[in-house]
Amino acid sequence: MWRKKNQRFRKVSGFLVPADEPRTRGSHPAELKEPVYRLGIGLARLVMKLQGVRAVAQGAEHIPADGAAVIAVNHTGYMDFIFAGIPAHLRGRRLVRFMTKKEIFSAPFPVGWVMRAMKHVPVDREAGRDALEAAVEHCAAGHLVGIFPEGTISRSFELKEFKTGAARIAQRSEVPLIPLIVWGSQRFWTKDLPKNLGRKRLPLWVRAGAPISTEGSPEDVTARLRERMTVMLEEVRRDYDAQFGPFDGNEPWIPASLGGTAPNQERADLLDRAEKERRQAKKARKAEQAQAKAAKKMKEN
C-alpha cells in the first residue's frame, strides 16, 4: 500500500519530495561555516532516521536560496522547530533562526549554550519588543527567521489567533513572509499526550507556501497570513490522510472538528488559561523566594 502511494515522490536527503516539484540545489557558503548548528542538524536527521520518520517536504523552492525571510509556522508540537527547518535545509542547506521563549536560553549546559550558538532569538513573553528588534537585526544580516504566530502550542491542533510579530518583522525588514505548515508533529510530542519518540515510523508532512503580500497594516497582513495558513493546513491534512490513512477518526491527535478526540477550541482555551495561571504563580513564588533569600543574606551581613 505504501509503495503504491509512494510512487509520486522521490527521496532527497532522506525526505520524500513530490516528484513534480522543482529541484533545489546548492548551498549557502556562510551558513555552512556554523559547526554547532550543522552538528545539531546532523543529530536531528540521525534521530529521525532511527525513529523511521516518513517525512514529506514540499515547497522548498519558496525559501530564498540567499538573503532573509520570515517563516511563519503553525505550532502543534515540541519538535516543530526541528521539522519546520526541513524545507530550508533542502533549499541549499539553509539555517533558520527560531524565535523561542527566553527560559530555554538560560537552561543548564548544553541546552542554553547550544541555543545561543545556533543564533536563535530569545522571546520574553511579557515584553516582546526586544525579540522583535533582534529578529529585525537577523533579517538585516540575511538570515531566515522562524516564528510561531500563535505564540504557543495549539492543544486543539487548529490554528489559534495570531500575534502580529511576524508581519511587523517582515514589514520593517522588507523581506518575504513565508507561510509554513507542519502536520503530524503532534503525534511525536505535544502537550497533554504521551511522547512517541521510539521507532514508531510515524508520518510527517511539511509544506512551505509562496510568500504573502505584506502591504497594509500589521493587522491586515496577519489576517491575510492566517487565512492562507488555514487553507494550507486543510490541504496538508487532506493529503496526509490520503497518503498515510485511513485513520480511525477518534485519535487524540486529530482535531475534534475532524472527528478526533483532541480538545475543541473552547476547551483548549480553558487549558491554556489554566497553564498560564500556573506559570505566573510559579514565577511569583520564585520571585518571593529570591527576595526572601536576599533579605536573609543582608540581615546576616
Three-state secondary structure of 118-131: CCCEEECCCCCHHH
Domain presence at residue 286: no
- The answer to whether residues 103 and 45 touch, using CB atoms and an 8 Å cutoff, is no
In a domain, 296, yes or no: no
Residue 159 belongs to a domain: yes
DSSP state of 180: E
Closest by CA to 177, choosing from 216, 151, 206, 203, is 216
Q: What is the pLDDT of residue 24?
A: 73
Residue 227 lies in a domain: yes
Paired residues of 99 in beta bridges: 121
Asked whether residue 158 is assigned to any structural domain, the reply reads yes
Is position 73 within any domain?
A: yes
- Total structural domains within the chain: 1
Task: Decide if 180 contacts 206 (C-beta within 8 A).
Answer: yes
Residue 221 lies in a domain: yes
Determine which helix (DSSP H) or strand (DSSP E) holds 2, and give its type and residue range.
helix 2-5
> Does 197 reside within a domain?
yes
Task: State pLDDT tens for residues 195-245.
Answer: 999 999 999 999 999 999 999 999 999 999 999 999 999 999 999 999 999
CATH, residue 253: 3.40.1130
Would you call 188 helix, strand, or coil by DSSP?
coil
Task: Convert the pLDDT of each residue in 85-123 to its tens digit.
Answer: 999 999 989 999 999 988 888 888 888 999 999 999 999
Domain of residue 108, residue span: 2-263
Query: How far apart, in whole angstroms, are the C-alpha atoms of residue 241 and residue 272?
Result: 28
Place of cell 519518540: 197
Contact 179, 275 (CB under 8 A): no
Residues of the chain with pLDDT under 70: 1-7, 25-27, 126-128
Cell of 80: 516543530
